[in-house]
Amino acid sequence: MKKIAFWFVAMMAMVSTVSAQKITLDGSWAALKGAGTYALEVDYSALQIEDKETGEFKSVEEFLKTRDEKFCNAWNTEIVPGSAAYALLVPNYANKKFTYDQMAPEYKFVLKVDRLKLGFAGGAFIPFAGAKAGGGNISGEMKMYDAKSGELLGSVVFEDVQGVSHVTDAVRWGLSYYELGKRLMKAVKKAK
């Protein structure tokens, strides 16, 4: 009986991890179906991070007060810059024909992350729950603009987009951006 209960819990963890993710498109995303160049701005001004111990979301400042000095030093030098390298590629993950060009972009994306769960490295080892069990998880909004006119072309609201587990916080967070790009690609293909 204990084995059956374990299998049921493991399967439910895997299903709930996958089904909780949600993406909602608004506006015209036709441009993302073609080829183009883009710039991307990441906005963490309203970022709230989950404290794994309490489950509460805290501002970056409050969150860092609960961490040790080593983590706080890594936050600005490794974790945020490391994950940002993945964030810059979200439109490219969504469409391999889109290329990053900060100097002369056709489109500008503004990616605002409001909620972050950093996940944990041990998730990769949870039997049958899958690597996503410990992956980073992001919620927020991304807007796409025509870079020349500034016209808003479309926006996407994303909730609980979860990447796979990894030993480092930066990569776990970054892999959630990779998952956002993949899910955006699927949503745009279905959109008119």
pTM of the predicted model as reported, rounded to 2 decimal places: 0.83
In DSSP terms, 110 is beta-bridged to 41, 143
3-state secondary structure of 4: helix
Per-residue confidence (pLDDT) for residue 17, from 0 to 100 = 40
**Count of residues in the chain:** 192
The 8-class DSSP code of residue 134 comes to G
d(CA 3, CA 34): 50
Using an 8 Å Cβ cutoff, are 39 and 108 in contact? Answer: yes
Tokens, residue 157: 């609201």
What is the full per-residue pLDDT of the chain (192 aa) written as tens digits?
A: 444 433 333 333 443 344 468 999 999 998 899 999 999 999 999 999 999 889 999 999 999 999 999 999 999 999 999 999 999 999 999 999 999 999 999 999 999 999 999 998 765 455 555 555 689 999 999 999 999 999 999 999 999 999 998 889 999 999 999 999 999 999 998 876
Exposed / middle / buried, residue 32 (Cβ in 10 Å: 0-12, 13-18, 19+): buried
In DSSP terms, 117 is beta-bridged to 137
